[in-house]
Amino acid sequence: MIQLLKFSLSPFGRCNRSGLLRMTCALLAIQAVVAALVWLLAATFHGPMAMIFKSLFLWLGFCATAKRLHDMGLSAWWVPSFFIALILWSFLQTFAMVILIGPDVLHIYGPMFWLLLAGIITPVLAVTIWLHYAPGQPNRNIYGSPPGQSGISHSAPAKLTPDLLGKSI
């Protein structure tokens, strides 16, 4: 598990579906242990230490997603593009509901609030499911070798050659 986390710190390389599932389970397990410790110790979890912990997990999540996108032959630039689109979608959906229904939409725990939240979360769930089920490329691509038994390839990005670009010489 330690080696898995070590390789998880870099966004380079590739990660297939089973590798993404392993990385996801490892991150969830660590978060569960930390949450249990905070709960058992009746501690508070905020301030600089919480920010460092959350930033680390945000980075690990980005790296796992980047590796998975690389396995499908896609650039990791899709991650920030998706978040920009999600922010715009959230703003437009909230704005439209406030205009059409009224500001009561924003009252937490009201039925319209949950409808709004479901509308915001739906694209995230759709992309998450897609990441877990979309097939990767079976051969070497510009992001490295195909993942091995562990589900993660640890290679550096490949040099661009005509065969990787799909062109003949």
**Are 3 and 63 in the same domain?**
yes
Task: Answer whether residue 169 is part of any domain.
Answer: no
Query: Is the residue at 9 inside a domain?
Result: yes
Are both 106 and 57 inside the same structural domain?
A: no
**Residue 74: pLDDT above 90?**
yes
Residue 168 lies in a domain: no
- Predicted local confidence at residue 43, as pLDDT: 84
**Do 67 and 143 belong together in one domain?**
yes
Give the domain range for residue 1.
1-73+137-163
Q: Is the pLDDT of residue 166 over 80?
A: no
Higher pLDDT, 91 or 168: 91
Q: Are 162 and 33 in contact (CB under 8 A)?
A: no
**pLDDT of res. 132:** 93
Which pLDDT band holds residue 155 (cuts at 50, 70, 90)? low
Res. 169 pLDDT band, cuts 50 70 90: very low
Domain count of the fold of the chain: 2
Regarding predicted confidence, which is higher, 12 or 154? 12
62 and 6 part of one domain: yes
pLDDT at 54 over 80: yes
With cut-offs at 50, 70 and 90, classify the pLDDT of residue 157: low
**Mutual angle of helices 78-101 and 111-133, in 10-degree steps:** 160
- Which whole-number Å values give the CA distances from 133 to 15, 18, 129, 164, in the listed order? 13, 10, 6, 24
pLDDT of residue 128: 93
